[in-house]
Structures are given as C-alpha cells and as structure tokens.
C-alpha cells in the first residue's frame, strides 16, 4: 500500500516539508515540497532562548508547511526538530505550543537519532556492497558522524559544529577577517581532537560518504574550480577552496555556481568543519549521497508500518 508522507524538518537553517509517496520495499518518491529559510540560530538570545520574534516566524513557517501538506493530501506528517530547538532553553515549551496550535506531533531528535536516521538512509541508498560506512553530515547547528556495517551504526557522534551556529558565533565582517577564520579553525580542530571517541578515530571503514547541503555545495564548487566530479569531494581540493572562500565577500561567494545568497555567509564555516573532520579521520575523499535525514525518517516509518 502506497502512503503519502509529509516529512517536516524544523532545522537550524530551514523549515522544510518534503512530501513523499512511499511503500515498503520501494524507493520513496518526492512529489512536492515547501521551504522557508528561517535560520533559528539567529533568534537565539544570550540567555539561550529563542526570541518572541523567532517563535512568531516559526509558527508562521509551520502553518504554511502544514497547509501545504494538507493541500497535497498527505496521510501523515512526520515532524521533527533538530539542534536549534533541541538546545534552546524554551525548546520544550515551543514544541508543546506548536503541537497544540497546528495539531501535529513535532518530536525533538537527539544528535544520536539524527546520526542514526541519516546512516540508515545512506545504507539503503548505497546498499550492502558499500561495505563498512563512515558518514559525515554538517547541518546548520550540528555535525553528525556515524560508522558501521549494518543498517544501525555501531558508533555515532553529534557535536555543536554546525555551519550556521559557527558563523554566528565566530565570523564577522565582509569579508571575514583572517584572525576570525584562524580562531574558528583552531576551535573546530580542538573540539574534534577532544571529543572524537576512539571507536571513530580508529575506524576501519572502507567507504566514506557525506550528506547535507553544505557538502553538496562544496562538491559543486570543487567541480567548478577543479573540474572534478561533483559526486565526490577531495580533501586536497577542500583545503584550497577553504582559503579561497574565506577571502571572498558575501556577494562574491553568492555569485558562485550553486551557492545561494543565504548559504554564502555560512559556507566558509561549513568548509572549515568539513576539512577538519576529514583531516582528523584521515579521509582523502568522500562520496556525496543525495539521501539524508528526511529519507531516513521515511524509511524508518515504513519499516514500522510493515512490522
């Protein structure tokens, strides 16, 4: 039986509804989507709460997404929130208010759950022949890493090293100052060295995969500058790109192919994180996977329906 699922991702950068037709044993088929770029991290106060203005805009975005889902006859809305709401001090109150007002069941995903759902999506996309996977995902608020040979990873890690978060906290000016860029590079490297567990540091994966808009954008830029296949991203090219991007203005970055105006500011932080995590894990090249968290949520739901 085919079901139409609306996957509502309340992320740090965007509120994104993806409507998919799906049935067990088949590839989920996207039909329509609704997206609002909100950047919740910009509405976090110094106290760690999301501001009144941010909450108002969040409700407006979710109302639009829910209306779009109903207009397109979705059978069920699978709604989840990631790091921005997860870490906000008023996050639980916001979730309760959203669920009551919009009649949905918005759930907060832990960083571990994000990594596990993304890992499932990558495994299903690549199949068992891909061997032992190590996947990387850079979101607006956090970085997720997962590794394993099955559909459930044997090791996961989530760190607050998202591109939007780091841009807000560490980078200012246009273009960014070399001092700020160096400080951010040192901060990211220190966090990875301090918090990366031994099971991931000494991984024996043989297939390295990256998901997320940040990695896809970096791979497209690598293809543009180095004539590389945009389905892959090499560390050597990433190192050259990071230096080049950090010296450019927002407008110059936004004029690059595949870089939106909204992504132009945070692609530098994203490149810094991507380079640092590939370096510390001794990864020379990653394959870009089009499936990520939203697809993982759908696949897990289908597994549950079938069970």
pLDDT at site 26:
83
Tens digit of pLDDT per residue, the chain (307 long)?
A: 789 999 999 999 999 999 999 987 888 999 999 999 998 988 999 899 999 999 999 999 999 999 999 999 999 999 999 999 999 999 999 999 999 999 999 999 999 999 999 999 999 999 999 999 999 999 999 999 999 999 999 999 999 999 999 999 999 999 999 999 999 999 999 999 999 999 999 999 999 999 999 999 999 999 999 998 999 999 999 999 999 999 999 999 999 998 988 899 999 999 999 999 999 999 999 999 999 999 999 999 988 876 5
pLDDT at site 118:
98
Over the range 97-113, which residues count as b (16 or more CB within 10 Å of their CB) and which as e?
ebeeebebebebbebeb
Are residues 151 and 120 in contact, defined by beta-carbon separation less than 8 angstroms? yes
Q: What is the pTM of this model?
A: 0.95
Calculate the CA 242 to chain-centre distance. 19
pLDDT at site 23:
86
- Please state the domain extents for the chain: 3-108, 126-288
Task: State which fold the 3-108 domain adopts.
Answer: Nucleotidyltransferase; domain 5 (3.30.420)
The reply to whether 126-288 shares the fold of 3-108 is yes
Task: State which fold the 126-288 domain adopts.
Answer: Nucleotidyltransferase; domain 5 (3.30.420)
What's the 3-state SS for 61-93? HHHHHHHHHHHCCCCEEEEEECHHHHHCCCHHH
């Amino acid at each position: 039986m085919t079901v139409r699922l609306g996957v509502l991702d309340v992320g740090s950068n965007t509120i994104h509804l993806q409507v998919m037709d799906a049935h067990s044993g088949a590839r989920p088929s996207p039909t329509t989507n609704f997206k609002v770029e909100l950047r919740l991290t910009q509405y976090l106060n110094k106290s760690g709460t999301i501001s009144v203005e941010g909450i108002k805009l969040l409700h407006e975005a979710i109302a639009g997404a829910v209306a779009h889902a109903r207009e397109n006859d979705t059978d069920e809305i699978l709604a989840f929130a990631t790091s921005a709401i997860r870490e906000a001090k008023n996050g639980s109150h916001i979730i309760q208010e959203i669920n009551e007002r919009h009649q949905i069941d918005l759930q907060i995903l832990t960083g571990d759950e994000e990594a596990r759902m993304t890992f499932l999506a990558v495994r299903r996309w690549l199949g068992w022949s891909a061997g032992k996977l190590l996947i990387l995902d850079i979101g607006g608020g956090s970085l997720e890493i997962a590794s394993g040979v099955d559909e459930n990873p044997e090791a996961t890690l989530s760190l607050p090293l998202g591109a939007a978060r780091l841009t807000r906290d560490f980078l200012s000016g246009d273009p960014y100052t070399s001092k700020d860029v160096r400080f951010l590079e040192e901060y990211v490297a220190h966090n990875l060295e301090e918090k990366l567990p031994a099971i991931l540091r000494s991984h024996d994966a043989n297939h390295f995969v990256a998901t997320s808009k940040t990695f896809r954008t970096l791979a497209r830029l690598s293809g543009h500058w180095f004539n590389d296949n945009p389905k892959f991203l090499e560390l050597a090219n990433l190192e050259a790109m990071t230096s080049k991007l950090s010296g450019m203005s927002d407008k110059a970055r936004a004029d690059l192919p595949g870089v939106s105006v909204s992504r132009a500011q945070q692609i530098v932080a994203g490149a810094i994180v991507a380079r640092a995590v590939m370096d510390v894990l001794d990864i020379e090249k990653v394959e870009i996977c089009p499936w990520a968290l939203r697809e993982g949520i759908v696949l897990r739901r289908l597994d549950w329906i079938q069970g």
